[in-house]
Amino acid sequence: MILALISLILLFNLIFKYKYIMRKLYLLVVAFAFCIAQVNAQYYYIPSTTTPGNPGGINSIGGEYPAGSGLDASWTSILSANNATPAWTPSQTIPFSFDFNGTAVTDYKVSSSGVLTFTTSATTAPSYTNAAIPDASIPDNSIMIWGISGTGANDEIVTQTFGTAGARQHWIFFPSYTAGGSWSYWSIVLEETTNYIYIVDQRHGGSPTVTAGVQISGTEAYSVSGSPSLANLAGTAPDDTDNYYYEFRQGTLPGDNIALSSISTPTIGTIGANVSIAGTVTNLGGNTVTSIDVTWDDGSGANSETIGGLNIPTYGTYNFTHGTALTVGSTHNMNICAQITGVQDVDTSDNCTTHTVSGLAFTPTRHVVIEEGTGTWCGWCPRGAVAMETLNSDASRPNFIGIAVHNGDPMTVTAYDNGANFSGFPGMNVNRKYLGESVSTTAMEGFYDQASAEPTNCDVAVTATYDAGGSINAVVTATFAAEVTTEHRLAAVLVENVVTGTGSGYDQSNYYSFQSQDLALVSPNSGSMPNFDWQGATNPVSAAEMTYDHVGRELYGGYDGQSSSITLPATANSSQSYTFSGTVGSYNPANCHVVGLIINSSTGEIMNANEASMALVGLQENSLVKLFNVFPNPTKELAVINFNLDKTCDVIVEITDMTGKVIFSRNLDNASGFQNVNINVENMNNGIYFVNLKTDANILSKKLTVNK
């Protein structure tokens, strides 16, 4: 009996210990499962830092301008500007199902300090001074571009949803916010179905430093490397051509994952020449990549190469050049792939790309268009003018075409200034492909040499006429050396030399005045102001002393070119033309010429150009007008206009100022023979004027200088 009792006690003890062990095992399993859930709920990001554009290309509306001042009216404002202290928007509803950190969310609100939170009960908006995350001032469950501020008059927050059901994106856009001492444009994007979060770096006038990331709680956050001093990648373009973004996904960063980010192999080449197959890979995995395999195939067989000895860290990039070059034929449609040597890439969807290389049936003459950003208010801009004149007179660089794009002065063409959108002055845009902010003669020469060596797909020819009615007709013709299947557009620019004017707007600010500067930057130019001594001149140089060359006066076809001016496909050895019509206005046609352009619409690059003087149709002194003089010139009291007519006709004598405003006009009906017209200039301001003599068949123009 005693033995049975002892056995029973031992049995119960064993059962108790077993239950205890099982309970411990259960708790361990629960804890492990909880940890797995936590790991699955965390975030990692993928940077899009090599190929510009918006995520998925769904938002193609473009126009990154301040709300109410150029921004498309389809955006909805959810917070007004002028927030001296950080403020929240009202609660907003997400227009589709969205999962954040493993939990469905339906509403959010945004602060004027760049923080979006799904904790809509939060009361105090984070400050305008950003910090590393996690940070106690950030509500749980938040996304941020912390470090921007909505303190300015244009600093609104706007929203819009793009795409179709199942694949929509909801954009929260901060246009023209304040950061880095200037304006700054960013967006937070929520994507349907994938539940991805994008932080989009869009446009900047300065150098903002921000915290970009996701904060789950006061102890858990995930930020882009470089935060809280993350610098911008985007430039100043008012569209998505220089946008970059960070894509946040739920889960953990995979160990082995690369992407073929971009291909730098040219799309055109001379038949028979060799071109390198080159590009960039980005490491999107947690493991360092030490070796990659690169393969390209144009249908004639695969060319594979292993490139070892690498050290590509997480989010790092590597620029490769394949050891086997392509010998250019007529057309090559290629497949190019990259993968990590010896391991399985977890996402192979971004490892391959297609690329086309077209052979040139002939070698076009490459012209280089350098558009210089300038203004009479810009004290450093004389060095840009000198650089333009140096290249213009350089016989070793015969295919230079210079255009001065003015900003903030009387010579400004708003559409041109806005399109070029220079971030600094003087600035230069080389074939609208390379931007040069440090403008000097040496820099401009270097850009010319680089661009002139690049192949192009067509030649451009220009003819232009100016008729007696003041109209211009410019015919721009492109002759293609290779087949073109993507949109290209033709355009034309009216350019004037020897531009003068009166008033302070034509005074040229001159920071070289009596300064000891690098003479390579301020050496005498050879244009309409030969041997001008900028260092010895005053600041500013008065309008009476100044003339301006290469001034962009009119855009024909717009900054981006005339739509449908090229019919696709454009076959090799074919030519297409477009005629642009306009008026010269108050400009002196004798000093004008036309620049014809062909623009690749997908990249904005000027593929080629040419220029031509205008033929002055019916404007030469002929059998009708035997003589046309204006004297004394300059004058301070009286101007005498005399002319001799070969036959009886009606004549209009007028004087216009530099803006084209008519300040004197006299009709002479049935005039014949020798005529004198006296004009008192005592009430006219000092400056340059044009005396126009109009008959049925002619318009003659002469410059008159008033200097009292």
Q: What is the pLDDT of residues 234-269, one digit of tens each?
A: 987 778 888 999 999 999 999 999 999 999 998 888
* Residue whose structure tokens are 């034309």: 492
- How would residue 626 be classed by pLDDT, with cut points 50, 70 and 90? low
Q: Indicate the SS3 state at residue 34.
A: helix
Helix (H) / strand (E) element for 230: namely strand 230-231
Q: CA-to-CA distance for 480 and 359, rounded, in angstroms?
A: 11
Please state which of the four CATH numbers 2.60.120.260, 3.30.300.30, 2.60.40.1930, 3.40.50.2300 is assigned to the domain occupying 625-706. 2.60.40.1930
Per-residue pLDDT, 518: 61
Per-residue pLDDT, 567: 96
258-360 matches 368-616 in fold: yes
Domain boundaries, the chain: 43-250, 258-360, 368-616, 625-706
Query: What does DSSP say about strands 606-616 and 458-466: parallel, antiparallel, or unpaired?
Result: parallel
Burial of residue 342, with CB atoms counted within 10 A of its CB: 0-12 exposed, 13-18 middle, 19 or more buried? exposed
∠ CA 520-526-529, nearest 5°, is 105
CATH for the stretch 368-616: 2.60.40.10
Per-residue pLDDT, 617: 58
| Most confident of the following: 63-72, 90-99, 328-337, 498-507 | 90-99
Q: Is the peptide bond before 266 cis (omega within 30 degrees of 0)?
A: no
Residue 708 has pLDDT above 70, yes or no: yes
> Pick from 173, 190, 185: which is nearest to 232 by CA?
185
Per-residue pLDDT, 74: 93
Helix (H) / strand (E) element for 38: namely helix 2-41
- How would residue 60 be classed by pLDDT, with cut points 50, 70 and 90? confident
More confident residue, 433 or 340: 340
- How would residue 517 be classed by pLDDT, with cut points 50, 70 and 90? low
Per-residue pLDDT, 522: 56
Residue 5 has pLDDT above 50, yes or no: no
Per-residue pLDDT, 488: 96
Q: CA-to-CA distance for 648 and 673, rounded, in angstroms?
A: 8
| Helical residues (DSSP H) of 467-529, grouped into ranges | 519-522
Helix (H) / strand (E) element for 24: namely helix 2-41
Report residue 35 as tokens.
């940890």
> Pick from 350, 330, 149: which is nearest to 247 by CA?
350
More confident residue, 616 or 332: 332
Render pLDDT for 649-707 as a digit per residue (tens, 0 to 9). Answer: 888 888 887 656 788 888 888 888 878 888 888 888 887 778 888 876 667 777 788 88
Q: CA-to-CA distance for 216 and 218, rounded, in angstroms?
A: 7
* Contact (CB, 8 A) for 175 and 64: yes
Helix (H) / strand (E) element for 388: namely helix 382-392
Render pLDDT for 138-165 as a digit per residue (tens, 0 to 9). Answer: 999 999 999 999 999 999 999 999 999 9
Residue 204 has pLDDT above 50, yes or no: yes
Report DSSP letters for 125-169, one per residue: PPPSS---SS-TTSPSSEEEEETBB--STT--EEEEEES-TTS-E
pTM tops 0.75: no
Per-residue pLDDT, 642: 80
Residue 408 has pLDDT above 50, yes or no: yes
Report residue 616 as tokens.
């002055």
> Pick from 343, 608, 634, 375: which is nearest to 511 by CA?
375
Q: CA-to-CA distance for 489 and 598, rounded, in angstroms?
A: 6
Residue 354 has pLDDT above 80, yes or no: yes
Render pLDDT for 630-647 as a digit per residue (tens, 0 to 9). Answer: 878 788 888 888 877 878
CA dihedral angle for residue 320, residue 326, residue 330, residue 332, rounded to 10 degrees: -50
Residue 309 has pLDDT above 60, yes or no: yes
Residues in a beta bridge with 193: none
Residue 605 has pLDDT above 60, yes or no: yes
- How would residue 619 be classed by pLDDT, with cut points 50, 70 and 90? very low
Residue 33 φ/ψ region, left for φ over 0, alpha for ψ in the -120 to 50 degree band, beta for the rest: alpha
Residue 168 φ/ψ region, left for φ over 0, alpha for ψ in the -120 to 50 degree band, beta for the rest: beta
* Residue whose structure tokens are 């300038």: 374
Q: CA-to-CA distance for 489 and 478, rounded, in angstroms?
A: 10
CATH for the stretch 258-360: 2.60.40.10
Q: Indicate the SS3 state at residue 576.
A: strand
Lowest average pLDDT, out of 111-120, 423-432, 581-590, goes to: 581-590
What is the CB neighbour count within 10 angstroms for residue 691? 22
Residues in a beta bridge with 608: 598
- What is the overall mean pLDDT for the chain? 87
* Contact (CB, 8 A) for 557 and 485: no
What is the CB neighbour count within 10 angstroms for residue 84? 10
Q: CA-to-CA distance for 194 and 102, rounded, in angstroms?
A: 12
Residue type, 299: G
Per-residue pLDDT, 48: 87
Per-residue pLDDT, 45: 95
Residue 621 has pLDDT above 60, yes or no: no
- List CB contacts of 206: < 8 A, sequence separation 6 or more: 179, 180, 181, 182, 183, 184
- How would residue 31 be classed by pLDDT, with cut points 50, 70 and 90? very low
Per-residue pLDDT, 96: 98
Render pLDDT for 526-577 as a digit per residue (tens, 0 to 9). Answer: 677 877 888 889 999 999 999 999 999 999 999 999 999 999 999 989 999 9
Buried residues in 512-539 as b, exposed as e (16+ CB within 10 A) = bbeeeeeeebbbebebbbeebebeebee
Buried residues in 386-425 as b, exposed as e (16+ CB within 10 A) = bbbbbbbeeeebebbbbbbbbbebbbbbeebbebbbbeeb
- How would residue 416 be classed by pLDDT, with cut points 50, 70 and 90? very high
Burial of residue 438, with CB atoms counted within 10 A of its CB: 0-12 exposed, 13-18 middle, 19 or more buried? exposed
Residues of the chain by 3-state class (helix, strand, coil), percent to 5: 15, 45, 45
Lowest average pLDDT, out of 29-33, 68-72, 510-514, goes to: 29-33
More confident residue, 200 or 528: 200
